[in-house]
């Protein structure tokens, strides 16, 4: 190498280094090199690239000239394609980029550019295939391995900081955005998670992992309808993707299309006979459809495939009418005795053992296992009772008689929804089943739409600032509140399969949002399903909810939650007397017909005998009580908590006077 060429090469390297940080300086230096060495191909390429970054239209002709003189250069075809894409010349850009990958199939950046072009041309399958090639060649997630590892180990703050650091260097880093979305999802900040994943897909429409994560984020909120197109698109290019198919089945089930869900899972089971998670999902669909024996068989098969799979045993225990054998109990005890058992499997076994030993009347050991399972689950939760107390306080402060009265007539006037609110495990599924047995009422499930509105309106704190909700409601106009009500009706329409005049939204935590419901749907019915404090709270404590019900894993937390619930409902009784109808679970058990007649009267519905035979109504039920509401009503569950009374001192102390004030009739 001559000294002159070495000097030129050094200058070219300096120009290349300037391209990202200072394209104007890079263009200036490249032009100087070309003045001394006319036609130098690398200098010409660098000058054209710098001009493209500066938005200089002359870049296109420079790249065209280079492509004509060097037709077999994949790199120049890539640069030309990028330039043409930015100029909006999609067809020509597609030709250049396709030429680049034909010349060099391993040119990762060209595949990424092709993905963008196909997205612009609405060819989603080609977009996704091209991006899959980019991921295969470039491994774009490698640079964030440390952040991903921190997230996997639940070190959320560390993962967030590492991802933010990368985004400061490159605001378009889709992998960093995806890590931040995962962190937000774990914190139940689904609004942020959705926004970040949607941004990922704007920047990289073919980013398969981000699309799947967005579908899973919707699933965490039980938003089934938007999941379907995301998952169906994933399956176009990878029709055998078991995870996407299983999640699609879950979405279909949430939408009430249980036959479709079962069809998907039946095929998955046939194709993956040794996959315990596929068997588990199949069992869930069978359970929701009321096929109890088949569900048991699927869960048992799942457990046989992997004996340490705690969720299979918990799913059996969650069939409230199922009873474990002594051999089952011995097998579970052997698993929890293993030091190497994973924490997630361990906590599932602990809850299952609690139920098994309770059924065997070994209450001391049952409570011990329930407590261990709860302690493990509580350690995973990002939860503070104080947050709910403050939400109740803010709600009470905002919703005065005057505030509500000033908004009389606001909102959608449709009477369609019947909201059932209250604590979980308080008989809400029973009330839903009774009402859904009426010819004019459709039972849906626990719909996430109202809580989704609360998220949008600022129920979570942001950047160290206190939550804006519900005070944010005060700034909404009549038109905006009406639009929210209409939006709720539109969003929930997919769940109304029978076309009845009324439908049920059975999300218990909507008691926090009674005020919001009043403002946007003033003619909706609101039913408060209530159960005795000790019975209700302990039933929550011994139930392992797979997500969301974080207050239930500590007796003091659940007691505080119950107190906030009662306090908030008492406030609404004061400022909106008669607006909320309260149903006491114990009264329904004691006098079914009398309570059903009063309930139907509140809902403006004529009495129908079928409501008393609710257990005969065939419908998909997706809660922990799905088997219980398919049996006639018995009083055996009312006082089950008394078997554990010796260990409920902390709960009694937290509940205080509420224990004695609860009405017996």
Q: Which residues contact 292 (CB under 8 A, 6 or more apart)?
A: 319, 321, 627
Q: In the numeric block, which tokens belong to residue 489?
A: 């009706």
Beta bridge partners of 504: 418, 443
Note the pLDDT of residue 618: 64
Name which residue leads in pLDDT, 379 or 125. 125
Note the pLDDT of residue 188: 78
Name which residue leads in pLDDT, 347 or 55. 347
Longest pairwise C-alpha distance within the chain: 102
Q: How far apart are CA 304 and CA 298, in angstroms?
A: 10
Note the pLDDT of residue 645: 95
Task: Give the DSSP letter string of 444-485.
Answer: EE---HHHHHHHHTT-S-BTTBPP-TTGGGGG--HHHHHHHH
Note the pLDDT of residue 627: 47
- Cβ-contact 585, 529 below 8 angstroms: yes
Note the pLDDT of residue 57: 72
Indicate the pLDDT class of residue 469, thresholds 50, 70 and 90: very high
3-class secondary-structure state, position 572: helix
Considering only 4-18, 403-417, 538-552, 640-654, which range has the smallest mean pLDDT?
A: 4-18
The pLDDT tens digits for 272-318 are 999 999 999 999 989 988 899 999 999 999 999 999 999 999 999 99
Name which residue leads in pLDDT, 34 or 196. 196
Q: How far apart are CA 450 and CA 454, in angstroms?
A: 6
- Cβ-contact 121, 90 below 8 angstroms: yes
Number of H helices, E strands in the chain: 34, 5
> Is the pTM above the cut of 0.85?
no
Domains in the chain with CATH codes: 3-138 (1.25.40.10), 158-380 (1.25.40.10), 390-661 (3.40.50.300)
Q: Radius of gyration of the chain from Cα atoms?
A: 30
Beta bridge partners of 462: 465
Note the pLDDT of residue 58: 72
How confident is the model over 377-405, as a mean pLDDT?
Answer: 93
Q: How far apart are CA 21 and CA 7, in angstroms?
A: 22
How confident is the model over 199-210, as a mean pLDDT?
Answer: 95
CB-side exposure of 186: number of CA atoms within 13 Å?
Answer: 17
Tokens 């059924």, residue? 359
- Mean pLDDT, the chain, integer: 90
Tokens 């060495």, residue? 37
Q: At residue 465, what are phi and psi to the nearest 5 degrees?
A: -90, 145
Q: What percent of the chain has pLDDT over 90?
A: 69
3-class secondary-structure state, position 422: strand
The pLDDT tens digits for 608-650 are 999 999 988 864 554 444 445 445 665 666 788 999 999 999 9
How confident is the model over 174-178, as a mean pLDDT?
Answer: 95
Length of the chain: 665
User: What single-letter DSSP state applies at residue 72?
Assistant: T
Q: In the numeric block, which tokens belong to residue 170?
A: 């490159």
Q: How far apart are CA 414 and CA 273, in angstroms?
A: 48
How confident is the model over 517-529, as a mean pLDDT?
Answer: 98
Residue 458 has pLDDT above 90, yes or no: yes
Q: For residue 91, with 0-12 CB atoms within 10 Å meaning exposed, 13-18 middle and 19 or more buried, which class applies?
A: exposed
Considering only 52-61, 510-519, 576-585, which range has the smallest mean pLDDT?
A: 52-61
Note the pLDDT of residue 36: 72
CA distance to 429, 533, 650, 655, per residue, from 555 (Å) = 23, 12, 7, 10
């Amino acid at each position: 190498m001559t000294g002159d060429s070495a000097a030129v090469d050094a200058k070219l390297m300096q120009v290349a280094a300037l391209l990202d940080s200072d394209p104007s300086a890079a263009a200036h230096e490249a032009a100087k090199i070309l003045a001394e060495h006319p036609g130098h191909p690398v200098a010409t390429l660098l000058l054209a690239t710098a001009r493209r970054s500066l938005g200089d239209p002359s870049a296109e002709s420079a790249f065209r000239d280079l492509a004509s003189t060097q037709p077999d250069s994949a790199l120049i075809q890539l640069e030309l394609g990028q330039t043409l894409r930015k100029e909006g010349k999609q067809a020509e850009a597609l030709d250049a980029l396709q030429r680049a990958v034909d010349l060099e199939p391993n040119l990762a950046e060209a595949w990424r550019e092709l993905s963008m072009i196909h997205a612009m041309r609405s060819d989603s399958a080609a977009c996704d295939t091209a991006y899959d090639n980019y991921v295969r060649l470039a491994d774009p997630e490698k640079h964030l391995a440390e952040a991903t590892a921190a997230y996997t180990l639940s070190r959320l703050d560390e993962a967030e900081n590492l991802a933010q650091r990368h985004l400061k260097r490159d605001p378009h880093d889709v992998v960093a955005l995806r890590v931040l979305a995962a962190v937000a999802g774990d914190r139940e900040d689904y609004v942020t998670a959705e926004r970040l994943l949607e941004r990922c897909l704007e920047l990289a429409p073919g980013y398969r992992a981000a699309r799947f994560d967005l579908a899973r984020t919707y699933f965490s909120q039980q938003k089934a309808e938007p999941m379907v197109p995301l998952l169906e698109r994933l399956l176009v290019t990878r029709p055998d993707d078991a995870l996407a198919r299983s999640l699609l089945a879950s979405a279909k089930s949430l939408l009430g299309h249980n036959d479709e869900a079962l069809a998907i899972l039946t095929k998955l089971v046939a194709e993956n006979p040794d996959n315990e998670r596929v068997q588990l999902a199949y069992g869930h669909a069978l359970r929701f459809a009321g096929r109890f024996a088949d569900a048991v068989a699927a869960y048992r098969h799942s457990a046989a495939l992997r004996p340490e799979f705690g969720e299979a045993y918990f799913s059996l225990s969650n069939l409230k009418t199922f009873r474990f054998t002594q051999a089952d109990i011995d097998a579970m005890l052997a698993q929890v005795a293993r030091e190497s058992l994973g924490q997630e499997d361990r906590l599932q076994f602990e809850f299952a053992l609690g139920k098994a030993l309770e059924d065997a009347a070994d209450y001391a050991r049952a409570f011990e296992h329930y407590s261990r399972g709860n302690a493990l689950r509580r350690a995973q939760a990002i939860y503070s009772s104080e947050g709910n107390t403050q939400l109740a306080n803010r709600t009470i402060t905002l919703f005065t008689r005057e505030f509500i009265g000033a908004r009389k007539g606001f909102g959608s006037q449709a009477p369609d929804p019947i909201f059932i609110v209250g604590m979980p495990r308080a008989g809400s599924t029973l009330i839903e089943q009774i009402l859904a047995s009426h010819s004019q009422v459709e039972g849906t499930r626990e719909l996430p739409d109202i809580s989704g509105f609360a998220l949008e309106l600022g129920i979570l704190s942001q950047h160290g600032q206190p939550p804006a909700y519900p005070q944010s409601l005060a700034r909404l106009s009549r038109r905006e509140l009406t639009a929210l009500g209409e939006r709720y009706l539109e969003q929930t329409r997919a769940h109304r399969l029978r076309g009845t005049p009324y439908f049920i939204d059975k999300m218990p935590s909507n008691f926090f949002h009674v005020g919001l419901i009043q403002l946007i749907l003033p003619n909706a019915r609101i039913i408060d399903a209530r159960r005795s404090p000790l019975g209700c709270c302990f039933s929550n404590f011994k139930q392992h909810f797979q997500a969301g019900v974080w207050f239930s894993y500590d007796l003091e937390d659940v007691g505080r939650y119950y107190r906030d619930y009662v306090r908030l409902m008492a406030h609404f009784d004061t400022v909106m007397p008669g607006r909320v109808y309260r149903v006491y679970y114990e009264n329904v058990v004691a006098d079914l017909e009398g309570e059903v007649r009063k309930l139907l009267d509140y809902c403006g519905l004529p009495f129908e005998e079928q409501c008393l035979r609710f257990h005969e109504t065939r419908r998909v039920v997706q809660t922990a009580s799905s088997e219980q509401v398919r049996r006639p009503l018995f009083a055996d569950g009312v006082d089950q908590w008394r078997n554990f009374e010796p260990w409920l001192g902390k709960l009694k102390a937290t509940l205080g006077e509420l224990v004695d004030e609860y009405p017996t009739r």
